Amino acid sequence: MEYTGDKDSPLSSVGHNAIFKGPDGRDWITCHYQKDGENPKFGYDPIEIKNGVVTSPTNGPTHTLQTIEIK
């Protein structure tokens, strides 16, 4: 099992990441998420990139609904 950042997360693994600029102007990361024995699902989370360091303000990957506000 891979650590996902949230000890209460039902996710067992994440992978195949890609970073994109969202319609809200923020940086986001996409990847597939998976629970043990289930088919992978698509997910995304906001990220911050400062001085070349990527961090997750949500301590992601999250397993809850995420929304992108279009400005």
Asked whether residue 49 is domain-assigned, the answer is: yes
d(CA 55, CA 48): 5
Residue 24 CB neighbour total at 10 angstroms: 13
d(CA 43, CA 58): 13
- This prediction's pTM: 0.68
pLDDT tens per residue across span 39-53: 888 888 888 999 988
Asked whether residue 4 is domain-assigned, the answer is: yes
Asked whether residue 70 is domain-assigned, the answer is: no
Asked whether residue 57 is domain-assigned, the answer is: yes
Number of domains in the chain: 1
Asked whether residue 60 is domain-assigned, the answer is: yes
> How confident is the prediction along the chain (71 residues), in pLDDT tens digits per residue?
344 556 666 676 777 889 999 888 889 888 888 777 788 888 888 889 999 888 888 776 777 777 777 77
Asked whether residue 69 is domain-assigned, the answer is: no
* Helices marked H in 1-71: none
Domain of 60 in residue numbering reads as 1-64
